[in-house]
Amino acid sequence: MNDMLIKGATLVDGTGAPARTGDIAFRDGRITEIGGPIRSAARQTLNAEGALVAPAWVDIHTHYDGQATWDDAMEPSAGQGVGTAIMGNCGVGFAPVRPGGERELIELMEGVEDIPGSVLHEGMPWGAWHSLPEYLDFLSQRRWALDIGSMVTHGAVRLAVMGERGKRDEAANAQDLAQMADLVQEAVQAGAMGFSTSRIRGHRSIHGDPVPGTFAAEDEVLAFAQALRRAGRGVYQMIPSSTVGSAPMLGGERHSQLDELALMAKASRVSGRPVTFTLFQVDEWPALWRPARSSIPRSARDPQRSCSAWRLTTLSCASPATWRSASCPCPSAWQRCASQRSRRRSWPRRRLPTRSRGRWKTSSSTWR
């Protein structure tokens, strides 16, 4: 006997096929029949006439990094039909965190995403992790109404390795680059979904400081691409300079949107991994999104269908190695990268190493 039968729904199966009216039956969390009319018995029957039934959204751009540590319901995303949420975007997140560095990560998130700092200070179990793998271990002990995945973030990595120099927009030296790339490789191999960075002036801490890494030179951007190549997995997420305009009030952006597209193409070639980025239509350049979009061959791009009506973000994706390859559009990349099964395999369920708390050392590097 089926556990549930949904009757008379408007079915949108996510393949691009036209919507159709039909029934769906479930048993043990799996679809057993679809189409109909289904006449087999079920413990519970729902009349869904007039309602849509569709696969859950994969929201590849969220900032649940703090909320995921204390909340199971993951609202409002779960209620909006999101089934998988990827957090750690825009270069801001909470691991790695150096001892005493919690406040600066909170102040970054508070400034960039307007999440109240008091909630993050009091709601998160600070001290339960230092490295990104330890953060993932902590998360793996929890359960939510939806699946989640986390990126490793440029801001956190730059602060962990370069400290105040990283905050002050100093160029990374060869040792910095090697240590930061090691942390990213280690994080992605431990289960992070990829690496994220923000390059716009508008993303700032509550004190007005840009996210560390905002002005990173090309060698730093590409060092992380090489880390993803070594890891052999992951997505490179970027908020390119000039995404929301030239920002004259903040001193002006340093790079044009089209220059940034060329940089992302290079990052994709160097990493051999997909790149996702945010593309807005802004008042200052109302038509620039067209050449920006068409600079990526149609076969290599795949816009994210928004899961929030108010979110006008379009995310496109470069295929690995070349903009022209059609071998790896975003959805399949995310299916591979973000499937719960592969994530659980790659998140080892080991206890948090209590001895490492306060020791400030990981297997791959010692941080300052």
Give the footprint of Zn ion on this chain (CB under 5 A).
Answer: 89-90
- Of 89 and 179, CB closest to Zn ion: 89
CB of 244 to Zn ion, least distance (A): 12
CB of 61 to Zn ion, least distance (A): 6
CB of 196 to Zn ion, least distance (A): 8
- Of 2 and 89, CB closest to Zn ion: 89
- Of 240 and 320, CB closest to Zn ion: 240
- Of 237 and 365, CB closest to Zn ion: 237
CB of 43 to Zn ion, least distance (A): 42
Please identify the residue of the shown chain whose CB is closest to the bound Zn ion: 90
- Of 90 and 225, CB closest to Zn ion: 90
Residue 209: both structure tokens together = 């400081």
- Of 89 and 319, CB closest to Zn ion: 89
CB of 49 to Zn ion, least distance (A): 38
CB of 58 to Zn ion, least distance (A): 16
Residue 54: both structure tokens together = 């569709």
Whether the CB-CB separation of 295 and 258 falls below 8 Å is answered with: yes
